[in-house]
Chain A
């Protein structure tokens, strides 16, 4: 296979700004990402860090009046930024599939689930009704729904959460998209169902060789599934590397703090690590200097870059700012 064609999505200098009381504020600030075929790219971060903003920018689902998107999102030489709506409709759902967090909210409660999957095929293929029906049954089998013929005629409220999410996945993969964007696909599900859904996504990927962008706040899910990881804080990517490096040699203070605050230790008497302060809201986000600096005040200001850039520390391992070289946890310093 040619190397060039492996690259599915190339995001360069993406800025997505929302208008709040007449002024635009960047929710995603200078984001650079690439997605290759057969790859799962995880975007991790806490709520309000801009990870879902990236997803909605890619598939063009945002309020065009109050959102300003600049930069390039290149999909096969085609720039998705500012693409006209009729062209976008041919791509969205067809070449790029989307899985949302809450399956009950993303399915139409008044429509049989089979028809909802068939709807996608109606718009993007020239199959007749019989072919569409057969393809839906095939898809239901693929996503592991029991008794697909019966399920076709059911309404979303009749299905369990796990089955609903399978329907959403069936819609997303109906047209064999090259890119699947999964925005917190398992957050609303139980752990055992979560494991099944993640396995399913991996199986689908193996079959279709698509690229998956997995947006999540769950570090465990990232460690289990991702190939590449981008950690986001306050609209910026602060660390980006392959999954092994991020978990075994994290460098950026935010990544390290986040990993440290997971309740995993065997010693229950110990307090969990708490990151001081709170995530800044969109309006109050510091626009100059290191955005994470306020939450690690014991690190001297001289350790931060004036305008933190993302540096390639090792081949393939990108870290923003230079403060990681001087970073230590607060407790360590007092000892």
Chain B
């Protein structure tokens, strides 16, 4: 799929934004560099800060290719950063004790650059993943990057109504860390708890927004703790104790264990979230569904959106629009 369709879908929901942030992510966008980590950086000024980032990357591996991300001037969109992408191969021998050395090197680089190099922000770092975001309306951002020129098998898009960090490109969704990308509608009232929890596992929150903890939590639970996405969602939006008390013993034991172990990962507050990784996509809402989420399928395609209208404009023939219950994960798997 190219990006033209999702641009149309988001433009149906301009009502939900304020023209101060939008973004898209495409999985499978760089087949020619599929094995490289596509590290996307916003530079405030290329000549001042890029050497520091180059140097940091060179310490940990090889830059196979790099380029300024092509952009096309839009009337209302002020280009305050220069978006850049590196195709990077980390050297696994440099992190000998890790079982996933490449991922850990790239994660380290993201945390290091974002917390120690002012004027540079790594906003995406996964293999074969292209991320496009800026401050503007969704159509403008799409045209700014010409996302119709990119093809992917899995797309996420987001239209932002910022209240906290308006106009800041880094604050637009989707958020990405390694293979994970997240779009989020809502506000996480447990952010302080979630952030302190995730930081004690070595993650550093640097985006000034609650959404990034979702990416980190999925990375921790699914990649590092090897839990399935279903179990991860049970940890983030668990059933209530009253419901657990009524479950059959074995299921109750599982849910109790999840809540005890991952209590600080529980996300509170209103949200609808879609998380993607190369082989799957997961959509879910908070435990009492304070934000909308609808899904639809057409053939082998799965659509997840805040509004039915956005799905219908992409797929007029969609047959089975459904509204998942609170906390119930909607999982799509990539079939090769």
Say if A and B assemble together.
Answer: no
